[in-house]
Structure 1
Amino acid sequence: MIVSILHRITGDGMATVGTVVLVWWLAAISGGAASYATFEHVFMEFWGGAIGYLFGIGLTLSFFQHLATGVRHFVLDVGANYDLKGNRAGSIATMLFSVLATAAFWAYLTMVK
């Protein structure tokens, strides 16, 4: 049950945050060089610190959780994994995948940097 609720929350959260950032970015581009410089400053300077990393990790975790739960729902839609034990294992697997994929993604980003 909690995995389905998290699926909705992560989808809505990513859609809301993504839309706001996209609209801000498009407005900054259309506003000219000074407007885009302000946008770039906020993302590179302000969000480049600990708050930005925490925000980025949260969005990444949200993305991988939404992805894994979407795959889980697809498996359920095909008619598989409806027993309680299999359903619970799938729910735990989505949580583990999202945490491990987020850790691997950010480990890769720090190594590339």
Structure 2
Amino acid sequence: MLVSILHRVTGSGMALVGLALLVWFLAALAGGEESYAAFRDVFTYQSGALNALGYLLGIGLTVSLFQHIGTGVRHWVLDVGAGYELRGNKRGALLTMVWSIGGTVLFWAYLTHAQWLPLISGK
């Protein structure tokens, strides 16, 4: 039940918040350099790094995306007729939450440490 509710909430949340941010971003671009700078200043420091609000929205939308993907896959598995046993159903529900947290951590670790990747890979 919780996973089904999370699927709906994350889908609606991403649509509303994501659409509002996209419209604001496009309006700021169309408004010119000052308008875009004002938009950017809400989410970043002067150096260009994300501030607390930037991280909150970015990580929140990322968790929502991974949760929505995970629950969507789980619902698809249920639609094909698998995973209805109580133990398997609970495991699938738990895996969607592990997936969303783990995927978000890996994604943001990659984003925040991308400049180190050439050093690690030797390229």
Measured in 1, the distance between the counterparts of 2:25 and 2:56 equals 21
Displacement of 1:45: 2.6
Measured on the aligned residues, the alpha-carbon RMSD in Å equals: 1.7
Task: Give the Å deviation of 1:38.
Answer: 1.6
Aligned to 1:43: 43
SS in 1 for 2:14: helix
Specify the code of the residue in structure 1 equivalent to 2:57.
F
- Counterpart residue identity of residue 78, structure 2: L
- Quick one: which amino acid aligns to residue 93 of structure 1? L
Tell me if 1:83 matches 2:82. no
- Is 1:96 the counterpart of 2:98? The answer is yes
TM-score w.r.t. structure 1 length? 0.89
Give percent identity, aligned residues only.
59
Structure 2 length-normalised TM: 0.83
Q: How far has the Cα of 1:50 moved from its partner?
A: 2.5
Aligned length in residues: 113
Provide the rounded CA distance (Å) in 2 between the counterparts of 1:56 and 1:37: 18
Task: Provide the residue aligned with 2:114 in structure 1.
Answer: 112
> By how many angstroms is 1:105 displaced?
1.0
Deviations 1:55-77 (A, max 9, x none): 32222111100110001111111
Q: Which runs of 4+ in 1 moved over 3 A?
A: none
Gaps of 5+ in 2: 116-123
Instruction: Determine the C-alpha separation between the residues in 2 that align with 1:112 and 1:40.
Output: 21
Shift of 1:32: 2.1
Distance in 2 separating the partners of 1:50 and 1:72: 32
2:59 paired residue among 54, 57, 71: 57
Stretches of structure 1 that go unaligned for 5 or more consecutive residues are none
Bigger mean CA deviation after superposition, 37-46 or 92-101:
37-46
Superposed CA deviations along residues 28-66 of structure 1, whole A, max 9, x for unmatched, are 122222222222222323882233223322221111001
Partner of 2:28: 28
Q: What amino acid is the match of 1:7? A: H
- Counterpart position of 2:9: 9
